[in-house]
Amino acid sequence: MNVLLIGSGGREHALAWAISASPRLTKLFCAPGNPGIAQVAECVSLDVADHNGVVAYCKDNAIELVVIGPEAPLVAGLGDDLRAQGIACFGPGKEAAQLEGSKAFTKELCDAASIPTAQYKSFANAADAKAYAAGHALPIVIKADGLAAGKGVAIATTQDEALGFIDECFGGKFGSAGASVVIEEFLEGEEASFFVVSDGKDILPLATAQDHKRVGDGDTGPNTGGMGAYSPAPVMTEEMIERTLKEIIQPTVDELARRGSPYQGVLYAGLMITAQGPKLIEYNVRFGDPEAQVLMMRANPAQVLDVLDAAARGTLNEAELDWSDDVALTVVVAASGYPGTPKKGGEIRGLEEASSGGSVEIFHAGTKRNDAGQLLANGGRVLNVTARGKTVADARDKAYAAIKKIDWADGFCRSDIGWRAIAREG
Ligand code: AMP
Ligand code: GLY
């Protein structure tokens, strides 16, 4: 089977790496891909916003399955446009992708299906939002409604902060994403992520993970897209997984099917494990980045393509995915300046030696090759050094040992990925 993967980050490199291990794969194409993906796929330049162009490319190249990595093309409806032309696609359509595209949509769906989540109210103007915030206990959580690359959320500990953030949202800081705002109660507990695949009716639970969003050691400093992750998440016991499936995931998939927009793809639930049990913080309609990297390191790669294909064709009840009992952990190596303006263009050497020790894979997130064939930094998050081990500490030690062998002057990473889970291991 010929497969087209859409995306260019570490998440897509991990997916490409797993897909390429399938005995059913004929050829993998990736648009636009990156130098790491180029080791296992043919990278092609396609304008992903031009849906007719993507459809034509699929027809010309006998693509039987399209796997969409990032959220933007899903929210833009690329999945619908492919399916309308008879091309199987892993990734939800525009309507179901509103689970990530609009926080108000998700909150309303939670109400409709009695899904546990933070209490909330939605607002379309600053005056009403401020009046509500003024009477609310602190801390209070304020979110721009639409896609804001992880930056549209404030956890305000003072009234001034809350009112200031509301002004920023309605003042256009997040563009149209801030044209409406959700204000919600602050949930206490430990965060975890849970990933499932659905074909619109059946659900295949994948695995759990935890990430580190802050740039600095000890979970300090500004938020990022994620500086590291590990799987499984110790807080997600069998009981919590069962409750999450029954109380959150199944009702979501059922409600979307009832509304005529069945969910086909991976559903990523961001959860708070509270004293009352799991509560939904947010949904994403794609794999996490860098969570996909640790998931793919634990999954049996030979089966991954079968699962993606079965979800796209509505035959998930026949699919299986085996998981290693090992822990996987990934450390993001970022370019100095990130999450502000990263330093680009520095040469990276030593990746082959760094990943030669076994149980280590280095996924490319933001790299490019110049005409001379040198590998250069080309983004904020640049490399995902990912290791498997018997324990979180073991996987961490392997990942950091590999990082020591990488020769790149501008790179930095957190030194404490996995600390919470390692503290539990004792
Ligand atoms: P979101 O973009 O909705 O995932 O929010 C970003 C981060 O803000 C989450 O990963 C949580 O750490 C935090 N957060 C969001 N909503 C809440 C809430 N209601 N209570 C506590 N923390 C929250
Ligand atoms: N690592 C968080 C995300 O992918 O949204």
pLDDT single digits (tens) 108-122: 999 999 999 999 988
CB-neighbour burial class of residue 356 (10 A; exposed 0-12, middle 13-18, buried 19+): exposed
Q: Which of 395, 385, 400, 394 is nearest to 328 (CA)?
A: 395
Tell me which residues of the chain have a pLDDT lower than 50: none
Rg for the chain, CA atoms, rounded: 21
The pLDDT, as a whole number, for residue 150 is: 67
Q: Which residue has the tokens 């020591």?
A: 404
Q: What is the pTM of this model?
A: 0.95
Q: Which of 330, 361, 371, 366 is nearest to 348 (CA)?
A: 366
Domain 188-318 falls in which CATH fold? D-amino Acid Aminotransferase; Chain A, domain 1 (3.30.470)
Q: Count CB neighbours of 315 within 10 A.
A: 13
Query: In terms of residues, how long is the chain?
Result: 426
Q: Report whether residue 187 contacts ligand 1, using a CB cutoff of 6 Å.
A: yes
State whether CATH 3.30.1490.20 applies to domain 125-179: yes
The pLDDT, as a whole number, for residue 407 is: 98
* pLDDT tens digits along 16-45: 999 999 999 999 999 999 999 999 999 999
State whether CATH 3.40.50.2300 applies to domain 327-425: no
Can you tell me the distance from the alpha carbon of 32 to that of 38, in angstroms, rounded to the nearest whole number? 10
Q: Report whether residue 226 contacts ligand 2, using a CB cutoff of 6 Å.
A: yes
* pLDDT tens digits along 70-103: 999 999 999 999 999 999 999 999 999 999 988 8
Q: Which residue has the tokens 């699919």?
A: 319
Can you tell me the distance from the alpha carbon of 414 to that of 426, in angstroms, rounded to the nearest whole number? 21
Domain locations along the chain: 2-90, 125-179, 188-318, 327-425
Q: Report whether residue 141 contacts ligand 1, using a CB cutoff of 6 Å.
A: yes
Q: Which of 223, 289, 294 to mutate to test the pocket of ligand 2 (most atoms within 8 A of CB)?
A: 289
Can you tell me the distance from the alpha carbon of 359 to that of 387, in angstroms, rounded to the nearest whole number? 5
* pLDDT tens digits along 119-163: 998 898 888 888 888 888 889 999 888 777 767 888 989 988 888
Domain 2-90 falls in which CATH fold? Rossmann fold (3.40.50)
